[in-house]
Structure 1
Amino acid sequence: MTYQFTIIVPVYNEEENLERVETELSNYLKIASVPTSILFVNDGSSDNSQALIETICARQPDFEYILFKENRGLSAAIKAGFDTVTSEWVGYIDSDLQTAPEDFNILLEHIGEHELVTGVRSNRKDSFVKNMSSKIANGIRRAFTHDGMDDTGCPLKVIKTEYAKRIPMFRGLHRFLPAMIMLQNGRVIQVTVQHFPRMAGTAKFGLWNRLLGPLMDCFAYLWMKKKYINYNISKSSKATTSF
């Protein structure tokens, strides 16, 4: 089967959530607006996540996985997914399922006219501290990047794969995906999506990750923006891969 869209699911010690992930994503595949596959990226989990992932992939023909030798972080997991997929479009969703897979259909409505469509979490079901730290971090990021995005931490995005593969990812840069698409002169739009409380497992990020870490990453982004190379080939005798 030829897939048009691949959903990356980064996983790090989410054994309590994976059966629900299987149920929710397999249900989504039945209503997906385009042919869709699922790619688990196991970021070196130390619990039973990998055994569960292999069991899920064995019984779900549209599910695949890759496993890191060691934990390398969310940005590395997303980058590995971008490097692996061959579909025209790629997206990702967190394995805590605080966002709804069916909302991918809403995002996909806009991908024809944009290179990245990102969700904005409506009525967030997180703690006061988490919500406020995210709001402050987003404000700082917008001041540095001028990307106009309200919620780049939303774990629900769809990107044209050819653009995703050109993003020079480094640790923490997953928060800057819209800005990195804009560096490629890509069009970006944000769309409101649902948000739910975490049902199982524990959050992997504390105040440092949500606030102070992103502030440091802003300086890395400014360096990247200054050094970024962007070009378009107008003609070539060499065959190229199309998405």
Structure 2
Amino acid sequence: MMYEFTIIVPVYNEEENLSRLEETLADFLPNSSKKAKILLVNDGSSDNSEALIKEICKRQPDFTYVSFVENRGLSAAIKAGFDEVDTPLLGYIDADLQTNPEDFNLLLEQIGPYDLVTGVRADRKDSFVKNMSSKIANGIRRAFTHDGMDDTGCPLKVIKSDYAKRIPMFRGLHRFLPAMILLQEGKIIQIPVRHYPRIAGTAKFGLWNRLLGPLSDCFAYLWMKRKYINYEIKVRG
């Protein structure tokens, strides 16, 4: 079966969401504008997530998974997904389903001339503190990267896989994916997508993760920008 699009789903202690995740993604796959499959990346969950993921993949022929020995964080889970993907396009979505997989079709409509299409969470259904800390963090990040993106933390993106695989990931870099595509002289765009409140499970990021952590990551990004190697092969003999 020739797949065109892989949806990466990082999972860390999301046992309460996995049944709904399976149902929602299985319902979306026949309606995807690209022939799609699901890659669940278990980031060393300490609850029953791994066992549930194995059962899901037995039931669903378009679902596969990888599982870490121990928890390594969201950026590591996304990188593992990038490394595993064998389709020309990839995307990712959070297991909490605060975004809707149906909106992947909105992003896929735009991907042709672009190398990354990211969602922007319209009418966010989060707490005041979470919204304000994200807004401040995004402003700091834009000042450092000049990527023009309003919401790089939105967990709904589509990327051309050859660009994604060239990103030298480090912890926290999931917030800088558009900027890393720009370093490759790629083209990026943002599209409004729907957003929902978290129904089950607990958020994995607090004030430090959303605000102070990204500030320190900005300096790491500037270092990488100065050292980044970018090239294009002209011909092979």
Q: Shorter chain as normaliser: what TM range?
A: over 0.9
Q: 2:219: which partner in 1?
A: 219
Where 1:109 maps in the other structure, the secondary structure is helix
Q: 2:15: which partner in 1?
A: 15
2 CA distance for matches of 1:182 and 1:23?
Answer: 35
Q: 1:197: which partner in 2?
A: 197
The offset of 1:218, in angstroms, is 0.1
1:24-72 CA-to-partner distances (Å, cap 9, x unmatched) read: 0001001000100000000000000001000000010000000000100
Q: Does 1:235 align with 2:235?
A: yes
Q: 2:62: which partner in 1?
A: 62
Question: Structure 2: 5+ residue runs without aligned partners?
Answer: none
The offset of 1:186, in angstroms, is 0.3
Q: Does 1:206 align with 2:225?
A: no
2:216 partner amino acid: M
Q: May I ask how many residue pairs the two structures share in their alignment?
A: 237
1:128 partner amino acid: F
2:194 partner amino acid: Q
Question: Structure 1: 5+ residue runs without aligned partners?
Answer: 238-243
Q: 1:121: which partner in 2?
A: 121
The offset of 1:155, in angstroms, is 0.1
Deviating above 6 A after TM superposition, structure 1's stretches of 4 or more consecutive aligned residues are none
Percent identity, aligned pairs only? 76
Where 2:56 maps in the other structure, the secondary structure is helix
Q: 1:170: which partner in 2?
A: 170
Q: 1:105: which partner in 2?
A: 105
The offset of 1:185, in angstroms, is 0.3
1:116 partner amino acid: L
The offset of 1:108, in angstroms, is 0.1
Give the TM-score normalised by structure 2: 1.00
2 CA distance for matches of 1:147 and 1:85?
Answer: 25
Where 2:110 maps in the other structure, the secondary structure is coil
Q: 1:240: which partner in 2?
A: none
Q: 1:181: which partner in 2?
A: 181
The offset of 1:2, in angstroms, is 1.1
1:55-112 CA-to-partner distances (Å, cap 9, x unmatched) read: 0000100000000001000000000000000000000000000000000000000111
2 CA distance for matches of 1:30 and 1:147?
Answer: 34
2 CA distance for matches of 1:85 and 1:113?
Answer: 21
The offset of 1:213, in angstroms, is 0.1
